[in-house]
Amino acid sequence: MPGIASRIRGFTCERELARILWREGFAVIRAPASGSRARRIFYPDIVAVKNKRILVFEVKLLKKYRPVCVESYKINRLVEFARRACGEAYVAVKIIREARWFFIPVEILKVTEKGFYCATREQLSRALGLEELLKTPISELLSK
Amino acid sequence: MPGIASRIRGFTCERELARILWREGFAVIRAPASGSRARRIFYPDIVAVKNKRILVFEVKLLKKYRPVCVESYKINRLVEFARRACGEAYVAVKIIREARWFFIPVEILKVTEKGFYCATREQLSRALGLEELLKTPISELLSK
């Protein structure tokens, strides 16, 4: 379990992304705090919708570039939510030292033996920035 | 401000609707608890998405049929969220004695002098049931 300080940083970070997307004209909703039982089963961290384009995110805060790994239950709930909504599923990574956001489509994650879904450091550094995310539908990204 | 007991009933009621919609194949997200500052500004109680159909709800619990009134700031955030998402906005009313849900499209609410958005007792009793909501796109409802 992460400590209190890192959970507060995590929430601040989710709120930052929610505000950015709201300013870009999205309808945005954040999941209930992780104390809520319901949340653990069903909800991604953030859902954003604009003109029927639906984006769902698990949010991850890193100090610097490094491989990103996410627990499988979080990716499973993200993918299931996106499937039901016909949405696009991303791991949204804020890198503190770069003060930038990167968006990794779940489709490129690789599952490890221990059941984590991971992207390499290189995949992270080549992931979508915010502007690209806002401009590019997922179908185009995956066909690259 | 409502008391603790009525807030707990309110949450239970939101969770019930969330679970119903989840079982119907929707991706469903509930807003953070009302302690959260962010929520008060932006979020409806529940957002549900299925195949790009987006439903947003303010949830209201009543003991029996009576006129329904909702504070204007709640309707404003509901309408703004639905506008951004291209979704349909409803006041979802659970009537305890009937053990039934009714869904009032915000478009039929009338604003009062004190700034509440209200539906009459009769409008409530003629509002959509759950099955109708799930079957009927809003455009058809409003053209009736």
> Closest partner residue to A52 among B28, B44, B52, by Cβ?
B52
Spatial distance between the Cα atoms of B91 and B5, rounded to a whole number of angstroms: 21
Q: Are B30 and A18 an interchain contact pair (Cβ–Cβ within 8 Å)?
A: no
Tokens of A37: 């039982």
Q: Closest approach of chain B CAs to the CA of A25, in angstroms?
A: 6
Question: B-chain residues within 8 Å CB-CB of A44?
Answer: 29
pTM: 0.85
Tokens of B125: 């009793």
Q: Are B81 and A27 an interchain contact pair (Cβ–Cβ within 8 Å)?
A: yes
Full pLDDT tens readout for chain B, 144 residues: 567 777 777 778 899 999 999 999 999 998 876 555 544 457 899 999 998 899 999 999 999 999 999 999 999 999 999 999 999 999 999 999 999 999 999 999 999 999 999 999 999 999 999 999 998 665 555 555
Residue A98, classed as helix, strand or coil, is: coil
Question: B-chain residues within 8 Å CB-CB of A18?
Answer: 38
Give the 3-state DSSP-derived string for A12-31, with helices as H, strands as E and coil as C: HHHHHHHHHHHHCCCEEEEC
pLDDT, one tens digit per residue, over B61-98 is 999 999 999 999 999 999 999 999 999 999 999 999 99
Q: Closest approach of chain B CAs to the CA of A29, in angstroms?
A: 6
Spatial distance between the Cα atoms of B59 and B138, rounded to a whole number of angstroms: 18
Interface residues on A facing B, Cβ-Cβ cutoff 8 A: 15, 18, 22, 25-33, 36, 38, 42-44, 47, 49-52, 54, 56, 80-87
Which overall architecture, per CATH, does domain B4-143 show? 3-Layer(aba) Sandwich (3.40)
Spatial distance between the Cα atoms of B40 and B104, rounded to a whole number of angstroms: 22
Tokens of A141: 């990204």
Enumerate the domain spans of chain A. 4-143
Residue A131, classed as helix, strand or coil, is: helix
Spatial distance between the Cα atoms of A73 and A62, rounded to a whole number of angstroms: 20
Tokens of A51: 């003109």
Helix extents (H) in chain B: 4-23, 37-42, 72-85, 121-125, 130-135, 138-143
pLDDT higher than 60, residue A142:
no
Q: Closest approach of chain A CAs to the CA of B130, in angstroms?
A: 19
Show Cβ contacts of residue A79 under 8 Å, excluding neighbours closer than 6 positions: A89, A106
